[in-house]
Structure formats: C-alpha cells, structure tokens
Amino acid sequence: MNAITVSVRHMTIPIERPFVEACQRFESRLGKLDYSEFQRHLNLKEPEAARAFIRKVEGPLGLMVFGVIDHGSLLSLAEKETEARQYVVGNPLIALQMTSHDIRAGLYAPLRVFIGEVGKSQSVIEYDLPSTLFGQFRNEKVNEVARQLDEKLAAAVDYVIA
C-alpha cells in the first residue's frame, strides 16, 4: 500500500442568481451525453464515428453532462428543503488525452461540479480545480490537459455569473 497526501484547491463561487437559473445557465454551456448511445458507438469499434458522435454532443466549451444527482431531493428524506445538484461533467476525448498518458487520471475524469441554493436569489457553484486533482500524477501531458479543464470550468462559471 502506498499513501500520499494531495493538496486540492477547492473553488466556491457565490452566484447572484436563483438556483434554477444558475443551473440552466450552467447546463447551456454543456452538451449532454447519452452514455448508452456513446457505448454503442464504442462497441462498433469505429473510432472516427465515436469521435464524431462526441463532437456532435459536446457543448460550446467542449464539455458535456454525463449525469446529474439531485441532492435536494435526497434531503427531502431528512425533511429539509433545499435545491442542490451534483453534475458529472467532462468529455471522453479529453479524458482519453489524459488516460492515454496515465490511466490513473480516470479516477477524476469525468469531474464533479456542485450547484446549491443559498437563498431565493442566490446560489453557489463548487468544484475541485482539475489541475490540482490531476497534478498528483506528476505527468506534464496530463497536467497540460488539466489546465485546459481549469479554463473550461472557469468559462462555464463566468457565463453563469454574467
């Protein structure tokens, strides 16, 4: 067994928008991946067709939503009312760029982004900065891609804020 301590930079960005609007603006910058359809493309063993499928569904920032976990609904089991969603975000082609250099990058690809309600007209977006997550693998080619992910997430957040 090998254990290391990793320093991760966690981003917390307050948003002066209602939760639903913050989520809508965030989602508008991303595509949506139908994972079963993506898997079907992979099973065909036609790499260019699979790449074309991914490019077709990626959003304007080159990212897409793999899935959404509604933590607000979960909290209703504790009789608490709030809105909160965790987004699983990434792009298989970006993950491929990293995992082809170090398969362990698959631990963090795709990424997680949390949007929570703070008040009627306020929300928060939180995520771990990709370059700090992937930096632990000490691979410059992985780090290069991770820095691009930093920029893509920042651009998505900037759009939500604007």
Q: Work out the mean pLDDT of the chain and round it to a whole number.
A: 95
* Residue 27 reports pLDDT greater than 90: yes
Residue 4 located in a structural domain: no
- Is the sign of the CA dihedral 141, 144, 145, 147 positive or negative? positive
Reduce the DSSP state of residue 86 to 3 states and report it: strand
3-state SS of 106-145 is HHCCCEEEEEEEEECCEEEEEEECHHHHHHHHCCHHHHHH
Number of domains in the chain: 1
Question: Which two structure tokens, joined as six digits, stand for 55?
Answer: 């490019």
Q: How far is the C-alpha of 102 from the C-alpha of 142, rounded, in Å?
A: 7
Specify which residues 11 forms β-bridges with. 127
Which structural domain, as residue segments, surrounds residue 82? Answer: 10-161
CATH code of residue 34: 3.30.310.70
Residue 18 located in a structural domain: yes
Please report the pLDDT score of residue 75 as a whole number: 81
Which of 103-107, 118-122, 129-133 is the least confident region?
Answer: 118-122
Chain segment 50-70, per-residue pLDDT in tens: 999 999 999 999 999 999 999
Residue 2 located in a structural domain: no
